[in-house]
Amino acid sequence: MTVAQWLTIWQRDFLGNVKPGTAISYEMQVRVHIVPTLGEIKLTALRTPVVQRLYNQKLAQGMSPKSIKNIHGCLHRALDMAVRIGYLTKNPTSACILPTVRQAEIHPLDTPDLKKLLESIHGDEYEALILTAIFTGMRSGELLGLTWDCIDFENGIIRVVKQLVQPRKKGRSFSFGTPKNGKGRTLTPAPFVMEVLKEHKKAQVELRKAAGPAWDDGGFPNLVFTHPDGSHLSQPTVWKALQKILEKAGLESHRFHDLRHTYVVNAFRAGDDVKTVQQNAGHYSAAFTLDRYAHVTETMRKESADRMQNFFEAL
């Protein structure tokens, strides 16, 4: 059996417990990066140096360490299964050395820029979406997959239980998937966020009445954020909308994900503890939150020291 033959079997029979998006990603890693180089090698003849050479070549060709890590993750998982069922005695990828993955810098909006953005979105069709992103920290897919039954206006909570997943291959359809870490969470936004959503719901009801039979939810009924005709939004659409708003406000370009970073930074500055921020943001651990936003906590420590200095001087 060749490596290519095993990878075909693995994808067909052993990926029943992974998310559709993960399966699509594995298919791409196998087809584009692994099989062209390693596919013809007999599975039992695959050795660590050959796999390491693949990673080194990809790095020399300019591939990012994160992308190489993704290739490794796919191949390691496939070969680990081959070990578990007895096709291999050990996993040849286990001893490979991966390039260091450096986290990309985050670029939250500072307070002056945030004020400009909020002024610029007033009355915009994406106002409710962007405000909810900034003040809840929800991911873009979670926002686009949010449905009205997950918003409890009486108790002031939002249940994040799914996201709208964009297909990575042509011909595939959008679908609902679980949140990124596989777990749902419950948010209690500031009251003004819930008021914004109430007004947004009223406006959507009017749009739906005006559209009549032309209203088309595209198989995703009850979505909170949609196009004026009821169809679902996509991540490129909301990114483009954000760029137009930022340009109108005279601000530099930002990723939509930077709105999430803005929420986390402001939550820390408002005094939220790390565990609360981690749970609201849907990070898998408080340690990740601390590591990702270490520079923010450093700023908070400096601000704390300044406050203590002012307290001492006032004695």
Say whether pLDDT at 169 is over 90. Answer: no
Q: Which helix (H) or strand (E) holds 175?
A: strand 175-177
Q: Give just the sign of the alpha carbon dihedral 79, 80, 81, 82.
A: positive
Q: How is the chain split into domains, by residue range?
A: 3-84, 111-304
Instruction: Yes or no: say if 193 and 131 are a contact pair by the CB < 8 Å rule.
Output: yes
**Interval 197-255: pLDDT, tens:** 999 999 999 999 999 999 999 889 999 999 999 999 999 999 999 999 999 999 999 99
CATH H superfamily, domain 111-304: Intergrase catalytic core (1.10.443.10)
48 CA to centre of own chain? 32
- Identify the pLDDT of residue 24: 86
Q: Give per-residue pLDDT as tens, 97-148.
A: 999 988 778 889 988 999 999 999 999 999 999 999 999 999 999 999 999 9
Q: Which amino acid is located at 254 in the chain?
A: H
* CB neighbours of residue 271 within 10 Å: 8
Categorize the per-residue pLDDT at 156 as very low, low, confident or very high, splitting at 50, 70 and 90.
very high
CB-based contacts of 189-197 (< 8 A; 24+ apart in sequence): 189/132, 189/135, 189/136, 189/156, 189/158, 190/135, 191/156, 192/135, 193/131, 193/132, 193/135, 193/136, 194/151, 194/153, 194/156, 196/127, 196/128, 196/131, 196/132, 197/128, 197/132, 197/151, 197/153, 197/224
Task: Read off the pLDDT of each residue in 83-101 and give the average, rounded to a whole number.
Answer: 96
Q: Are 6 and 87 in contact (CB under 8 A)?
A: yes
Kindly indicate whether the domain formed by 3-84 is annotated with CATH number 3.40.5.
no
**pLDDT value for 284:** 87
Average the pLDDT over 178-207 and give the result: 93
Q: Assess whether pLDDT exceeds 80 at residue 170.
A: no
Read off the pLDDT band of 293 (50, 70, 90).
confident
Which amino acid is it at 210? A
Q: How far apart are CA 93 and CA 49, in angstroms?
A: 9
Per DSSP, what are the bridge partners of residue 185? Answer: 160
